[in-house]
Amino acid sequence: MPIDLYTTRGCPIDQQRFTWRDMVSRPISKLDDDAFTRVRVILLNGIETDALRFQHAAARRNRDIRLQLAQIRRVEQHQATMVNWLIGADHSPLETTIAYEQVAIEVTADLALKEPDPYLAQAYRFGLLEDFDHLYRYSALLDRLEGKDANNILQSYTDIIPGRPTVDEHRAPEDDLRNPYDRDAALATKLNAMTLTAAEFQTHDYYMNIGPLFADPVARQLYAEIASIEEQHVTQYGSLINPDESWMEQWLLHEAMEVWNYHSAMEAETNHHVKAIWERFLDYELGHFQYVAELFKQVEGRDPAELIPGPLPDAMSFQSHRDFIRQVLAQEVGLRAKGTQFVDKSLESQASLDYRKHINSAGSPSETVASGYQWSPGTELNRKVVVAV
């Protein structure tokens, strides 16, 4: 059932408290928990770290609300900690990467299906096919470097096959910008764009942090390459957000987006320990929304209901979108971006072609790592050794 932001008060800010002990609680089980529990953990961490990112940027430009931003930010920081620390340490950084790509694929697919604006839905399908290819490349790396099967993480929900080849995803910056949604766009459109921007930003930052932890030069190059694409994706998704919105409008929308994400996670969660965390943080986020809504009235002299008139959109679905993704792959893998539009690959801009030619001129790690790679249950060795025997 959709949440009404104005009738559910949530937990007051001064009661949103933490100890180190409850921030660092029992992690999920890599083996026994459902893959979508991990998807939700990663997504919600991305939402929280984006809240911090946005609120810091806002504080740099808004002298009068710096204290309020600092107060909310302190809670978001500890929420992010409690959420991100749920990932068990037996996930290798590369296994966690597989899970990040599963988030990018399945959440983007769900929002592409639900997005009411056809242009934004197209942008989501476009990005989806690129993250889909990243999963294939990283799965090859996991198999060939660590000798592990990516499907132990994916739990058969998500296919491991090529998408739009990563080697072809490198574009000139002008071909990564999109047209922003209108100010009067549907609330769902605004929340979808903010959610995907947050998720992709987190993925970019994760790859930038763990890439240099690998000794293997192939891994180091692959993370460098895909982190660059994630930067392009942040550019794409971030440019969908209307830059004419005021700081207070974007803050209020961000809090609404956080409420919506926690509500969606809570509705779907199968791990009782994690579900209790989603319930607690949904209550916290409702408190944040009420706090920012009051501030919105003071700063803008307007009713928040002018910006967010009704209940939140229906919860997002955490499930496999295999059929939809296969359909998009079959129909749209040949699309490329030119300016703010999506075109056939024969119509790409010279700027992107030139950029790509140079950046790939000393070799392509995404091509090298997956050369001849075909995923098989139990890794490609399972197929090759059986054939050899």
Partner 1 sequence: MKESTPMGMNKTGMQMSPFDATDMRTGVPSMQPDPGAGDESAIAGMRNSYIAEADPVGSVPVPATVTGAVTAGMSMLAGNAPQLFIDKLGERLAFERTGTRLYDALLAKFDALGDGGTGATRAELERIRADEARHFAMLAHAIETIGGDPTAQTPCADLAGVESMGLMQVLSDPRTTFVQSLHAILVAEMADNAGWEVLVALADENHQASLSTEFTTALSEEQDHLEMVRQWFQRGVIGRTVGSQVAPPPQTH
Q: Which residues bind partner 1 (CB under 8 A)?
A: 26, 29-32, 88-90, 92, 144-149, 151-152, 214-217, 219, 377-379, 381-382, 384-386, 388-389
Backbone φ and ψ for 300, nearest 5 degrees, come out as -100, -15
Q: Give least dist CB 312 to partner 1, A.
A: 33
Q: Which amino acid is at 39?
A: V
Closer residue to partner 1 in complex, CB, 137/170: 137
Long-range contacts of 371-375 (CB under 8 A, 24+ apart): 373/136, 373/139, 373/140, 373/143, 373/144, 375/136, 375/139, 375/140, 375/143, 375/150, 375/151, 375/160, 375/161
Nearer to partner 1, 150 or 252 (CB): 150
* SS3 call for 337: strand
Q: How far is the CB of 149 from partner 1 (least distance, A)?
A: 7
CA distances to 230, 238, 347 from 355, in Å: 16, 22, 15
Instruction: Select 5 or 28, whichever has its Cβ closest to partner 1.
Output: 28
CB of 271 to partner 1, least distance (A): 10
- Select 21 or 63, whichever has its Cβ closest to partner 1: 21
Single-letter amino acid code for the residue at 134:
H
CB of 375 to partner 1, least distance (A): 12
Residue 193, classed as helix, strand or coil, is helix
**From the CB of 166, what's the least distance to partner 1, in Å?**
21
Instruction: Tell me whether residue 66 or residue 383 sits nearer to partner 1 (CB atom).
Output: 383
Question: Is the distance from CB of 195 to CB of 111 less than 8 angstroms?
Answer: yes
Q: Give the Cα-Cα-Cα angle 250, 254, 260 (nearest 5 degrees).
A: 145
